[in-house]
Structure 1
Amino acid sequence: MTEHAPPPPPPPAPRNEDTPALPDALRDAPMSQGMAVPYITLAHRDRSDRPAWGNVDPIRLREVLERALCQICGTPLGEQVILFILPSDFRQGLTVEPGLHPACAEYSARACPLLAGRMHRYHRHPAQRLTRCADPRCHCWGWVPPRPDPARDGAPTEAWYELRLPLSEYRVITVPGTDNRPAVTGIDLKTPRLMHRIRKIRDAAQPSQRERDPLAMLLVVGVLFAGTDQ
């Protein structure tokens, strides 16, 4: 019997020029829909198989906050930390978004549809993305739908900003809950000196939101009193 040589491997798919290059820290990261799956994203045991976009793994989130890890690649943060923040974060004095390495932040700002301005509303009903898989060793059977957030569920996105701060000012705090609001744990925005360290990544989806944006005024003040070194 004549042996046939195996068929040659298919040529690599052409790379979309709009797809940002992966930083070194994400070379081995699981990929889904052409994007690296962030370390804190809720995902199956096979993290490339239908990750629950828009949902955060509470165990990994706690680990990232306690050990000062990058929310994207899951390795320790360096001397410079990037935060993605909203005007509403600034008003409450903290952000629930953990820090990122500068390289991971640059990648995320281009890859994430929300940050890159390709998506103008938050995911509607992100809990519906909690699909179970057939892997008996996967923990998806125990996934708990997140508490509904009417401020974000399908709502137009606010403006997003990038804040750069030294690791020495990266502080995890908890705002106690009230009768109407649960306790919130996140990164302190009262301690860091925001001026000269902040830049806008994308505008708010609706013009009316821009009129209520305190961070926009902060940028104007920074330019007026300190030049353009922000």
Structure 2
Amino acid sequence: LTGCTLYTGPTSALTPTTSPTTGPANGGDGGGDNNVCFAGDQTVQLESGSKKQIKDVRLGERVLISDANHALKFATVVFKPHRSDNTDAATFHSIQTESRCLKVTGGHLVLVQPECETSGPLKLLRADQVLGGMCVSTATDLEKVTGTSKVEGSGVHTLVTDDPAGHIVVNGVRASSFGENHDAVNAYYHVHRALFRVMPASFMDSWAVVKANAMLGNLAAKIFT
């Protein structure tokens, strides 16, 4: 994939003054799970301080996330909705700032401040609705979007952690782990969080569990869209 430079900079906390709200659920590249994922070469920060491509993260590893109070912390990965070796085709939206770039599918939710006001409310907005001049919430500050573009690729990935907020930091940018209807989808994954406490990682990462999860997701998408 092209269109992004991997983020290698520092991470630190930014605390917004208000809770994020979810943007409207319209537009996008199409249906299914492929509409709500990161490109596999996007990086997350591990608790060890190293960075790892999201496709290579394993269950049980601890990655940087943003909790319900918007504080940065590390949380344990409890589920990967897509297999590490998946080659699902997708259209990725490249969101660029002065120092960062995020590749994510159009339906995935990114934390933004549309007017770039440091005291203004943050919003979870679809990646395909993020425009130049808006600000994305990063691990260090708000950064103005300098450009957006589309790139075709393959391999779609996201991570579910044990933190109940359902947010994650990818390429230094704060985002939801999910797409539209963040609260409902995040609540669904509380089941996986509970299962991870009592089931081995090998079970949670098995083909059967990942396949069953995808089937349930597709069924829910047909019912609620």
TM > 0.5 fold call? no
For CA contacts below 8 A with separation 6 or more, give which structure has more relative contact order: 2
Greater strand fraction, Structure 1 or Structure 2:
2
Q: Which has the larger radius of gyration?
A: 1
Q: TM-score, normalised by structure 1?
A: 0.23
Q: TM-score, normalised by structure 2?
A: 0.24
